[in-house]
Every structure is written in C-alpha cells, then in structure tokens.
C-alpha cells in the first residue's frame, strides 16, 4: 500500500511536469502568428477497487486542447478575403496617382486648356508665326501627355499581369502546404494524438489563402479536410490538390483563372487579392485607357475634320496621308481597313483646288471628288483626283495616299464625307488613340501649313486674316462630341470624368481599406481574447504546477521516511 502512495505521487510529478511543458510551449509561442493557446486537461487516473473500497490512483494529462472560437475564425476568414481585395485595390490605385497629376502639377486638363488657348491666340492673329509655333508646341505637349499617361497605364497593367501570375503561384504553394499538413494530421490522428500545432498551421494557411481568394472548408465524413472555392470548385481533398491555372489570350499573359479538372473559376467580386488584380487589370486600368483613347480619338478627329477643309499661310504642293491602307484596292468600308477613322467616312464629297505658279486657279471653283466608302477604295479616290488637271495622286509602297501638284499648289474645301480627316490629308493630328496621337509631321516641319482660314471658292485662295478655321477649332473646347453616336460630351468633360472617376474609385478603396483594417484589428483582438497567450496567466499557472510538484515531492519524501521507519523495525 505504501508503494501505491509513491506511485500516485509519481503520477503527479509526471503530470505537473507535462503541464509545465504545455505552459512552456504557450509562453514560447506567445508571438507566433496564428498560435492558439493550449491547455492541458488533467483527469484523475483510473481508480482501483481495493478491499471493498474504490481508491483513486492519481492524476494524468487526458488531452491537450487548443482554445479556439470557430465563429471568430470564420469571421476572420471573411475579413481576410475583403482585406486582400481592398488592400490590393487601394495599393494599385494609389500607385498610379502620378499618372493623373495633382493640383500642383500641370495635368491633362491644363494641357487641354493650353492647347485651346493657343488656338484662340492664333485665331486672333492668323498670320502670326509666334502663334503658330505656340499651337505646335502646345499640341505636341498635349500629345506627349496623352501618350505618357497611356504608356504608364499599360505598364501598370503589365505589372498587374505579373502579379496575377505570382498570386496564382502563391495560392498553389499554399494549397500544396495544406495538403501536406492534411497528410500529417491524418497520420497523427490514427495514433490518437491531436496535432494542435499542425491544426494551427493549417488554419493559418487557410487564412492566408482567403486573402488571395475566398475558400470554404467543408467537413466531410471521416474527418477529411475539404477546401472549396466560393463557387464550389474542389481545391483540396485530403492530400489531393487541384491547382489554379491561368488561361491566356493574346494581349495578356492570363485572361481568366481555372481550377484543374473543374473549369473556369468564378471569382467573387470584392473578395480576395486575385479578384482585385483581375478587376484592376481588366476593368479599372483598361477602363482608364479606353477613356483616354476616346478622348484622343475625339480630339484628333474633330480637329482634323475642320482642319482638313482649311488652308494655311503657305501654298502646299504635296500632301501625303498620315493613314495607310493594307491594300490600295480594299474598299474604304472594309472591316479590315486600317485607315484610322475609316468607320467615319460617309457618302459625300470634298473639293480639290489647283492653283498654278502665277496664282491663277487651274480649276476655278474647285473640282468635287465624290466619296462612297461602300463602293470605293483608296485607289479609286486616287484615280478620281488624278483626273483633275494639274495634279496627280497615287498610293505609295507603304499604302499612303500621295497627292502631288508639281509646280501647282493644292488646297481642299467642303469635305462632307470625312474622307480627308479619316485618311489624314491636310490634317493637324496623326494617330487615333492616346498611344499614337501626334502632330502631323507636315505641320511640325512647316507651321505655316496650320490651317486657319477657309478657301475662297472663286479665287481658290485663303485670306491671311481669315480665322474661320482656327476659330472653329478653338470653339471645339465647348462642343459636345462623340464618335460612337452616344455619350456626347466636351473634351474637358471627358478629361474631368476620367480624373474624377479615378479619384472616386481611389477614395472608396482607401475608405474601405481603412474600415476593413479596423475590422481586422477588432477581430484579431477578439481572437486574442480567446486563443491568445496571457503571460501573466501562464505565470500564475506555472506557480500552481510548481506547488503541486513540490507537494508531490514532499509526499514522496514522507513516504520514504515511512519506509525507513518500517525497515528500521525489521532491521
């Protein structure tokens, strides 16, 4: 019996020691992210029935459980998904802030205002060289600004594309780690041990994964761990993993995301950094670029439409189109036509005026050239122009229309077909998008070619003081326009819409980020309240286990003395 007392004290020593091990593990992991405080559950040892009475046989550590609130874990998972989305969105929108400028820097609006102000000044002095140079430089500055914005946005898109690839790699790596942990947890469970640390690690990985794309944990029969995407695609089942893959289309490395064996993944809007990256690349950045392109194309075409029917200070002998056709005999209305604004060409005509070296009109009143885009090609137009005495027209090797008057000068008027503006004859701008809009090289080379007045039908010349064309271009500043037939607005309104749209989206993203971060902090605090390690509490428990250990050691010492007494009696 006396030895039973020793055994009971021994169980206590061993149990208190084990409890100290758990406590020590808690303190060691006080700063480990995702660690759940573990508690040794002490239970009495199996009692024995001796001499008609049931006697206890000491204490044992029944299990070590972790303190966890699954509800808070689920809330944190949802929060991580939103946090991933808004952190990513806010980060990228703020990173492109320099593209749109500030009040202190000369931005797109300032460049547009300067452009139209220069046309106003030219209108007030059409023959002034300084005013013409000013129009050239302000137009080049505006073109450079648009081009620079477009390039920066496209670079941002390319960067987001790379980040999507990285996010997929990160997600797949996490999935592999989860599957590996599933195997180890299942192995430990078969021998009866609860792998609290492995469970914590897996929970932490699931939280990380939620940040990339929202997932849901399904508890299958047999305790198997199943992870699904929010639209039900299977990602992990036990040790089996279905990776995320990207499916590419021209223009971008990845267009859409799919799950191996399940097809396309429907990403939940507003959750996960992957959803944010795709939204950033395909909606926001692409949207900004599209708006810039619309502004550039409306600017180029509207200015060119007026400019093409005007004339400058100097008699011009040769005109070469800025646009080109892939095939001279291709119809103007052909869907494969590469002439920049071919879609804007309508049935109509324009007049061509030819004046000889002595200033006498060769074709008094001008010759109308009929345009029918459904029936005519660029070559047909060239043939029609060549039929006018004193001028020849042909398509050069690069597909450009070249009109040559030789010793005669040429001018144009009354284009109601949009042909001249579309193909780029006597135009101010070349290009049709933010990336390629530029001042016509012919105008840069000779500012006197900037058209400021309209041709007099009788004399086929333009008065140097005639500012009708320059004035009309200046007044485009307050003209609502559209190339697509809907959504007409002024160029300034387009620019403002782009800037304010970006501003609103960024402000919303930042506000949401602040709110979600605050929510994250609150949830983290609540999790800490349940699962965190309070060092002071562990210290007190340490004292308890220490005292129990000391008491049990005292029992052993006393029992030993009792044995000595007994042995003394026998000796």
Partner 1 sequence: MQITSAQSLNHLLSGIQKQLHNQLQGNEQVASGKRFLRPSDAPSDFQKSISLRRALSSLQTGQQSIETGKARLQSSMDAVGQMQNVLNRAQVVALQMANATASASERSAAAVEMENLKHSLLNLANTTWQGDSLFAGTATKTQAFILDVNGHAVYQGAVQDRVIDVSSTIRLTSNVRGDEAAFSLAFSALENLQAALQNNDMAAIQAGVDETTQAASAMADMNAKLGALHNVFEIHLTVFQESDLMLQQRLNKHEQANLPEVITQLEQSSITLQALYSQVSRFQQLSLVNFL
Binding residues for partner 1, rule: CB under 8 A, are 30-31, 93-94, 97, 100, 102-104, 109-110, 113, 117, 120-121, 123-125, 127, 453, 463-467, 471, 474-475, 477-478, 492, 496, 499-500, 502-504, 506-507, 510, 521, 524-525, 528-530, 532-537, 539-540, 543
In whole angstroms, how close is the CB of 118 to partner 1 at the nearest point? Answer: 9
Residue number with CB closer to partner 1 (55 or 488): 488
- Identify the H or E element spanning 566: helix 535-570
In whole angstroms, how close is the CB of 92 to partner 1 at the nearest point? Answer: 12
Q: Where would I find the beta strands (DSSP E) of 214-366?
A: 215-219, 225-229, 234-237, 240-241, 244-249, 252-259, 263-264, 310-311, 318-320, 348-355
Under DSSP, the state recorded for 331 is: B
Query: How far is Cα 424 from Cα 161, in angstroms, rounded to an integer?
Result: 35
Residue number with CB closer to partner 1 (108 or 167): 108
In whole angstroms, how close is the CB of 132 to partner 1 at the nearest point? Answer: 14
Residue number with CB closer to partner 1 (17 or 504): 504
Residue number with CB closer to partner 1 (237 or 459): 459
Residue 386 CB neighbour total at 10 angstroms: 14
DSSP secondary structure string, 115-133? HHHHHHHHHHSTT-HHHHH
- Are 319 and 427 in contact by the 8 Å Cβ rule? The answer is no
Tokens found for residue 300: 């180029």
In whole angstroms, how close is the CB of 523 to partner 1 at the nearest point? Answer: 11
Tokens found for residue 473: 């271009």
3-state secondary structure string across 429-454: EECCCCCCCEECHHHHHCHHHCCCEE
In whole angstroms, how close is the CB of 31 to partner 1 at the nearest point? Answer: 7
In whole angstroms, how close is the CB of 463 to partner 1 at the nearest point? Answer: 4
In whole angstroms, how close is the CB of 431 to partner 1 at the nearest point? Answer: 25
Tokens found for residue 117: 């102000």
Residue number with CB closer to partner 1 (204 or 534): 534
Residue number with CB closer to partner 1 (130 or 563): 130
Residue number with CB closer to partner 1 (185 or 533): 533
Nearest in space to 277 (alpha carbons), one of 507, 90, 99, 97: 90
3-state secondary structure string across 453-492: EECCCCCCCCCCCCCHHHHHHHHHHHCCECCCCCCCECHH
In whole angstroms, how close is the CB of 214 to partner 1 at the nearest point? Answer: 25
Residue number with CB closer to partner 1 (6 or 508): 508
- Are 259 and 213 in contact by the 8 Å Cβ rule? The answer is no
With 0-12 CB in 10 A as exposed, 13-18 as middle and 19+ as buried, what is 195? middle
Nearest in space to 381 (alpha carbons), one of 171, 201, 391, 560: 391
């Amino acid at each position: 019996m006396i030895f039973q007392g020793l055994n009971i004290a021994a169980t206590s020593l061993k149990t208190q020691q084990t409890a100290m091990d758990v406590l020590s593990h808690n303190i060691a992991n006080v700063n480990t992210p995702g660690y759940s405080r573990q508690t040794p559950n002490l239970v009495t040892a199996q009692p024995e029935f001796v001499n008609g009475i049931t006697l206890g046989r000491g204490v044992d550590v029944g299990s070590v459980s972790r303190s966890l609130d699954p509800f808070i874990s689920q809330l944190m998972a949802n929060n991580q998904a939103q946090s991933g989305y808004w952190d990513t969105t806010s980060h990228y929108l703020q990173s492109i802030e320099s593209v749109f400028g500030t009040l202190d820097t000369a931005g797109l609006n300032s460049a547009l205002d300067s452009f139209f102000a220069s046309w106003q000044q030219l209108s007030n002095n059409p023959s002034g060289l300084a005013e013409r140079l000013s129009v050239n430089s302000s137009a080049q500055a505006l073109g450079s600004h648009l081009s620079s914005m477009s390039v920066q946005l496209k670079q941002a898109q390319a960067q987001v594309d790379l980040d999507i690839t990285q996010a997929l790699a990160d997600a797949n790596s996490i999935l592999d780690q989860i599957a590996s942990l599933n195997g180890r947890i299942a192995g430990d469970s078969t021998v009866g041990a609860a792998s609290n640390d492995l469970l914590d690690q897996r929970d932490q990985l699931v939280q990380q994964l939620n940040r990339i794309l929202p997932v849901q944990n399904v508890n299958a029969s047999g305790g198997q761990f199943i992870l699904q995407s929010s639209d039900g695609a299977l990602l992990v089942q036990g040790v089996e993993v279905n990776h995320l893959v990207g499916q590419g289309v021209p223009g971008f490395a990845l267009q859409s995301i799919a799950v191996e064996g399940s097809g396309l993944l429907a990403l939940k809007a507003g959750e996960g950094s992957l959803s944010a990256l795709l939204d950033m690349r395909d909606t926001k950045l692409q949207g900004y670029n599209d708006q810039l392109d619309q502004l550039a194309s409306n600017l180029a075409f509207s200015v060119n439409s007026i400019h093409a029917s005007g004339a400058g200070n100097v008699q011009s002998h040769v005109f070469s189109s800025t646009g080109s056709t892939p095939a001279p005999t291709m119809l103007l209305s052909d869907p494969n036509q590469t002439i920049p604004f071919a879609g804007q060409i309508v049935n109509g005509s324009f007049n061509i005026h030819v004046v000889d070296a002595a200033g006498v009109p060769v074709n008094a009143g001008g010759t109308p050239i009929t345009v029918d885009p459904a029936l005519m090609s660029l070559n047909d137009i060239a043939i029609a122009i060549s039929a006018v005495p004193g001028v020849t027209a042909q398509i050069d090797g690069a597909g450009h229309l070249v009109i040559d008057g030789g010793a005669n000068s040429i001018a144009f008027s009354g284009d109601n077909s949009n042909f001249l503006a579309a193909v780029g004859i006597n135009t101010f701008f070349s290009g049709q998008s933010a990336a390629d809009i530029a001042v016509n090289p012919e105008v840069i080379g000779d500012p006197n070619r900037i058209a400021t007045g309209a041709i007099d039908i009788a004399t086929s010349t333009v008065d140097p003081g005639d500012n009708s064309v320059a004035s009309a271009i200046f007044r485009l500043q307050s003209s609502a326009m559209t190339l697509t037939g809907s959504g007409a607005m002024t160029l300034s309104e387009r620019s403002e819409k782009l800037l304010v749209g970006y501003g609103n989206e960024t402000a919303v993203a930042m506000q949401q980020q602040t709110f979600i971060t605050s929510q994250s902090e609150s949830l983290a605090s609540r999790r800490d309240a349940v699962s965190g390690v309070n060092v002071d509490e562990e210290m007190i428990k340490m004292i308890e286990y220490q005292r129990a250990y000391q008491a049990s050691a005292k029992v052993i010492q006393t029992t030993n003395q009792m044995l000595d007494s007994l042995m003394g009696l026998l000796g």
